[in-house]
Chain A
Amino acid sequence: MYSDKVLDHFSNPRNVGEIPDADGVGTVGNAKCGDIMRMFLKVDDNGVITDVKFKTFGCGAAIATSSMATEMVKGKTLKEALKLTNAAVAEALDGLPPVKMHCSLLAEEAVKAAVEDYMKKHPEAVID
């Protein structure tokens, strides 16, 4: 049911871990539904995401979409990161089974939550 790319990102997830002095942290989902994603961002003065890490409790698709989302926003500006869509994450993984599309949505939301957290902590920052 999963593509080879999903299985690759599930078995060798990229950017797993935490950033102790992260500039923005976002957690989405809940344990009751079986998925929690936490995204950590390191952002430089130019608003570029220089590092990103994740921790996820969830199924194979949840872990693979987290991993792919981190790869897709690393090195991007906050503005670009906010444009990440769940469809793009799913597509980059060569598709997801229909029942697992909500996992890709969670990955999109985790990135947004981490950026929002960064904005809250850095009210002076502007995303034009």
Chain B
Amino acid sequence: MDNAATTAVHPQVLEKMLPYFTECYGNASSIHSTGRDARKALEESRRKVAAALNCKPQEVYFTSGGSESDNWAIKGTAFANRKKGNHIITSAIEHHAVLHTCAWLEKQGFTVTYLPVDEFGQVNPQDVEAAITDQTILISVIAANNEIGTLQPIREIAKIAKAHKVLFHTDAVQAVGAIPVDVQEIGCDMLSLSAHKFHGPKGVGVLYIKQGTRIENFMHGGAQERGKRATTENLPGIVGLAEAITLATENLEEKSSRIAGLRDQLIDGLTSAIPHCRLNGHRTNRLPNNCNVSIRFVEGESLLLRLDLAGIAASSGSACTSGSLDPSHVLLAIGLPHEIAHGSLRFSLSDTTTQEEVNAVLATLPGIVETLRSMSPLYADFMEENK
């Protein structure tokens, strides 16, 4: 139930990867036949990813994951377009890979606008347009939020960016494999994705870069990835990513409608069985695999530990799980007070999630909440006030 954190590698993906550790271990830059075999597998993988994203193979750049793709997209275009301007627009609910990159760029002399979101976590495209200045060089808005699952109007934002001749990047790490992602249809210039979110291996991702986009090279060295990202290719990972994205995008509609059905059972079941429990994010305009709720008078980490003791893995946006004193920036951005944000829980489903697992959450969580509330001074005070 924590598949937004990571997923298990699909057996078929693993099977495709294994030969590239041993018999096909060649370096794709070598001239000999082992090298040529590696090159063939590399380019075949690139074609598969291009087919899944509906772009040209030469627009697919393999990276080490979603964070690298985000870093490269933002820093790479910021520095390459510095003469044009120094202004970047993003949202308040981006992944830290985007937010911390933007914060670092601010130290390098760039200015960043962090757009607010509404109570459901949606960016308003009109706000994007209003924030554009003659200095704006890049807009980066997440396709689907990783915590609350809200889908963003990225197509409208892409149109606005295009009309103002500003580059548009979207972090689609949670979206790929969960909903259809077609870079032509979205109209983005860059898009980040990560294999381990859709049953691929960890440590490998993609940055889609539309042909003609001005971007600095990420890693200096050899000629790998058209000279833009040096380092001998992680071929087993790349082969795994290609297989995983192919599998993930097969019958996507059918799979995601089954998962959305389970998600709806969770949302409706939890919000009706647990008093003072609210859904975070939009009810319908959300990822089919995301259920995020806030449960008042209890704290998220306690909920996670109790769920874990019952054999259920979930995650929380409480401060205690973030390693800081503040709860998740996403929950605060949608207007939740700190004490309610501390009591948040995220269940994220995948293709392998079963009806039984959903039933187990619905059968277990209300009791856990009751136990924790029975020892919560906040709940005692609330009951006293509402006698």
- Residues of A that sit less than 8 Å from B by CB: 2, 7, 10-11, 13, 16-18, 27, 31-38, 54-63, 99-100
How many angstroms from the CA of A7 to the CA of B300 in the assembled complex? Answer: 16
Q: Are A63 and B375 touching (Cβ within 8 A)?
A: yes
- Residues of B that sit less than 8 Å from A by CB: 297-302, 305-306, 309, 318-320, 323, 325, 327, 337-339, 342, 374-380
Q: Which residue of A lies closest to B340 (CB)?
A: A31
Q: Are A31 and B302 touching (Cβ within 8 A)?
A: no
Interface of chain A, main secondary structure: mixed
How many angstroms from the CA of A60 to the CA of B305 in the assembled complex? Answer: 7
Q: Are A59 and B318 touching (Cβ within 8 A)?
A: yes
Q: Which residue of B lies closest to A27 (CB)?
A: B377
How many angstroms from the CA of A34 to the CA of B320 in the assembled complex? Answer: 8
Contact of B318 among A10, A18, A34, A54 (CB under 8 A): A34
How many angstroms from the CA of A99 to the CA of B298 in the assembled complex? Answer: 20
Q: Are A34 and B338 touching (Cβ within 8 A)?
A: yes
How many angstroms from the CA of A71 to the CA of B380 in the assembled complex? Answer: 22
Give min CB distance, B100 to chain A, whole Å. Answer: 19
24 A/B residue pairs, CB under 8 Å, sorted by A: A2-B305, A17-B375, A33-B319, A33-B325, A34-B318, A34-B319, A34-B327, A36-B377, A36-B378, A37-B377, A38-B377, A54-B375, A55-B377, A56-B375, A56-B376, A57-B297, A57-B298, A57-B379, A59-B299, A59-B300, A59-B302, A59-B318, A60-B301, A60-B302
Contact of B299 among A7, A38, A62, A100 (CB under 8 A): A62
Q: Which residue of B lies closest to A36 (CB)?
A: B377
* Cβ–Cβ < 8 Å partners of B378 in chain A: 31, 36, 57
Q: Which residue of B lies closest to A6 (CB)?
A: B305
20 further interface pairs, Cβ-Cβ under 8 Å (given A16-B375, A62-B302): A2-B305, A13-B375, A16-B374, A18-B380, A31-B338, A32-B337, A34-B299, A34-B325, A35-B299, A54-B375, A55-B375, A55-B376, A55-B380, A57-B376, A57-B378, A59-B300, A59-B302, A60-B302, A60-B305, A99-B323
Give min CB distance, A85 to chain B, whole Å. Answer: 22
Q: Are B342 and A31 touching (Cβ within 8 A)?
A: yes
How many angstroms from the CA of A7 to the CA of B309 in the assembled complex? Answer: 10
* Cβ–Cβ < 8 Å partners of A13 in chain B: 375
How many angstroms from the CA of A34 to the CA of B299 in the assembled complex? Answer: 7
How many angstroms from the CA of A62 to the CA of B372 in the assembled complex? Answer: 12
Give min CB distance, A19 to chain B, whole Å. Answer: 13
How many angstroms from the CA of A13 to the CA of B302 in the assembled complex? Answer: 12
* Cβ–Cβ < 8 Å partners of A58 in chain B: 299, 302, 320
Give min CB distance, B355 to chain A, whole Å. Answer: 28
